Structure 1
Amino acid sequence: MVEPLPSARSLMLVLHDVAPETWPDYQPFVQAIDGMGGVPMTWLVVPDFHQRNPLLGSPAFCRLLERRLAQGDELALHGYYHADDGPPPRTPGEYFMRRIYTHEGEFYALDQQQALQRLQQGLALFGQQGWPVAGFVAPAWLMSEGTRQALRHLPLRYTSTPQHLYRLPEFTAVEAPGLVWSARSAWRRGLSRLVCDWQCRRWREAETLRLGLHPVDMRHRSSRDYWLNTLRNLLAQGREPLTKSAWLDRKVGA
């Protein structure tokens, strides 16, 4: 079942793959957003990005995230390693999803116990830091059935895919279309611009829009400027910026 949305139009600015290693990519962009004033962000935090970036090994970055929380931003759990470290793919379909589509689908092939253990480790780290956490987003938005079952047993309020948020534990779908770029090459950036421009026109009257940013977007002027300009345009259209949790809170109260 897909629930109706709140009546007020809104947007959600979401930073993916947040880690000490990716912060230098994001820093100038975040400074530009802060300069606009009053634009909260949802930061998708990876506890140990690619198994070489443990958060606890960077106290300064942890303090930065605490300051963002104090400013009204939200931190969500984004996998644990953000890297697919499972056994080799066994079928052509698995090979495509785990080796061609992405190498970062960490939760694509996990069974329920494996997923539960990794999720609990991530939540324990958040708890150790004293960070509130309401949401989990799987790397590349790829979740196995085991992951879905594990999420039903945890104190989380939501997860998401490219076009929906899902209220947990029931997995009630809530429409929340998202814009995202693939910025790894010039042709991908060109195609991403065309697709996102079309989606902005298609979803002009949508109740909410999610802007899903990645560190690689920040490394290219065309994609970085696109996100800044798109955000300005959406704000000028009267959309209210909200974190994911704030948007869900408003929905519950609607």
Structure 2
Amino acid sequence: MAEVMLVLHDVSPESWEHYKPFVDAVDALGQVPMTLLVVPDFHHHNHLHNFPAFRRMMDTRLARGDELALHGFYHADDGPMPHTPRDYFMRRVYTWEGEFYQLSEVDALIRLEAGLEVFARNDWPVQGFVAPAWLMSEGTRRALQRLPLSYTSGPQQLYRLPDFSEVPAPGLVWSAGSAWRRGLSKVVSHWREQQAQDAPCIRLGLHPVDMRHDYSRQYWLDTLQRLLAQGREPLTKLAWLQRQVQARNAA
């Protein structure tokens, strides 16, 4: 059985209004569970404690069958200025939001535990962590091995914890900030989808900026519907990984 994973990044009180029309459209398709990557305090001004209506919405999504995963804590890179050309590129050109790109093990553990505490306070089960922009320092990797989490992920793979064993999981993702980026993203994503036709799963990684443009929002809805029509079963990340473990144990 081939599967598709629908993953919404940067989920916060601020971004949910952008996501809501798309989520409503997906809900209208039937039972399509999603993995929601939740940021506890997006950019230092969206702390979930201050948004009870958003927390209730996450409760509703869980009851519907969605998965909540921890997605950084602030989703902002507030560290010292980069000192090398490579670090400058990664932290100021590729992204400004690589929160866990340079953290020490101690600092990463503090933020991870703070995020898990927010989930625990809301009685939200959590098995997965995804670093903003998928950027993780070695200190972050060591910190993750000390926590009761099942997985983390990169752009084209998932990693089982605590040993970081790699599970290929090809993904489609857009850079939708400008018209030319949206056009190029569609071409690249179409090519990647064709390359992944025989893959056991395809991961769709959506961001709030995708939802601000009809062109990109409609692409994601059309792609999801096409993959479902091809017979792919929609699963959350956690459910898909659990199925891989069951298949391995049965072999």
Normalising by the residue count of structure 2, what TM-score does the alignment of the two structures yield?
A: 0.98
Alignment partners' CA distance in 1, 2:94 and 2:192: 22
Query: Which residue does 1:253 correspond to in 2?
Result: 246
Aligned to 1:230: 223
Q: Secondary structure at the match of 1:98?
A: helix
Picking from 161, 165, 169, the partner of 1:168 is: 161
What's 1:82 paired with?
75
In the TM superposition, what are the counterparts of 1:119-158 in structure 2 within 5 Å? Answer: 119-158=112-151
The partner residue of 2:38 within 40, 45, 52 is 45
Give the aligned residue type for 1:176: A
Cα offset for 1:90?
1.1
Q: Secondary structure at the match of 2:202?
A: strand
Separation (CA, whole Å) in 2 of partners of 1:96 and 1:248:
33
Return the alpha-carbon distance in structure 1 between the equivalents of residues 178 and 138 of structure 2.
Answer: 32
Corresponding residue of 1:18: 11
Matches within 5 A, 1:203-242: 203-242=196-235
Q: 169, 180, 188: which is aligned to 2:173?
A: 180
Query: For residue 61 of structure 2, what is the aligned residue in structure 1?
Result: 68
Give the TM-score taking structure 1 as reference length.
0.97
CA distance in 2, matches of 1:23, 1:38: 20
Q: Equivalent residue for 1:116?
A: 109
**Match of residue 36 from structure 1:** 29
1:27 maps to which residue?
Answer: 20
Displacement of 1:252: 1.1
Between the aligned partners of 1:45 and 1:111, the Cα distance in structure 2 is: 22
Q: Partners in 2 of 1:149 and 1:90 — Cα distance? A: 23
**Would you say 1:99 and 2:92 are equivalent positions?**
yes
Using the alignment, how far apart are the partners of 2:85 and 2:168 within structure 1?
31
Alignment: residue pair count: 247
CA distance in structure 1 between the aligned counterparts of 2:129 and 2:138, rounded to whole angstroms? 15
Query: Distance between the aligned counterparts of 2:55 and 2:49, measured in 1?
Result: 7
Amino acid at match of 1:149: R
Task: Tell me how far apart the structure 1 counterparts of residues 14 and 194 of structure 2 sit (CA, whole Å).
Answer: 35
In structure 2, the residue corresponding to 1:75 is in which secondary structure?
A: strand
SS of residue paired to 2:93: helix
Q: Amino acid of the residue matched to residue 52 of structure 2?
A: P
What amino acid is the match of 1:153?
R
C-alpha deviation, 1:227, in angstroms: 0.3
Distance 1:231 1:197 in 2: 13
Shift in Å, 1:249:
1.1
Q: Deviations over 1:92-147 (max 9, x none)?
A: 11111001110000000101000000000000110011000000000000000100
**Which contiguous aligned blocks of 4+ residues in structure 1 show a shift greater than 6 angstroms?**
none
Structure 2 residue identity aligned to 1:202? Q
**CA-to-aligned-CA distance 1:78-101 (integer Å, 9 cap, x gap):** 000000011111111111100111
* Distance in structure 2 (CA, Å) of the matches to 1:200 and 1:151: 31
